[in-house]
Amino acid sequence: MEIPSSWNELTIKQFTRALAVEGTEYEYQVEKQIAWIAAITGADEKELEQMNLTDVAAIANKLQWVKQPIFEEKVSKFFYLNGKLYEVCNDISKIRADQMIDLCSFMKDNPMLNVHKLMATVCIPRKWLLIHGKYDGARHQQISNMFFEHLTMDKVYPIALFFCRVCNAFLQTILISLENEKDRLITEAISDLQKYGSDSRINMVGSTT
């Protein structure tokens, strides 16, 4: 059993599986500890159930750091994975509309459970160091799956946190814009109704004279 001791040893796959365990109700605490250990280490739960409680608790304690993420919030511009260079699109003004749509769709529920999809949306592979890559929605699933299996949380967490904040602010801006647009339309409608009502009274007066 390999027990990771730092974020650069923990993949998205391990992290999201542990996160799912954390959000699940268990009848007994030891059941949750076993599921937690299995999610992170890949150990078989049946084998873990054969261990004594002291050993199970000791391993669970070694993994408590996963529940307390501490990172520098500086977002890396580039990172390598499996020999390929990826560029992080951290300039919101340069993100394409289809990227933003995909990004917001992965933010709807629990973004950390979709973090590999979020990363595949904003991290673009580069063929050449000096030539920017372009977002390719057709390759999103392939890159997302690869990130899920191999990308470690030391690279992921600051980027994910940055875009979670950006998307929340972006969505709030959309809501404000929609609210302002709604108010404008209501004001126009009231104005039109008042004008229509005024014209109707004039016509009625004219028809009686």
User: Which pTM value belongs to this model?
Assistant: 0.73
Q: Identify the burial level of 85 via C-beta atoms within 10 angstroms of its C-beta, where 0-12 means exposed, 13-18 middle and 19 or more buried.
A: middle
| Tens digit of each residue's pLDDT, the chain (209 residues) | 889 999 999 999 999 999 899 889 999 999 999 999 999 999 999 999 999 999 999 999 999 999 887 766 677 888 999 888 999 987 777 888 888 788 877 877 677 888 899 899 989 998 766 677 788 888 999 999 999 999 999 888 888 877 777 666 655 555 454 455 455 555 666 665 555 554 444 343 334 43
Q: What is the DSSP string of 37-62?
A: HHHHH---HHHHTTS-HHHHHHHHHH
What DSSP designation does 27 have?
Answer: S
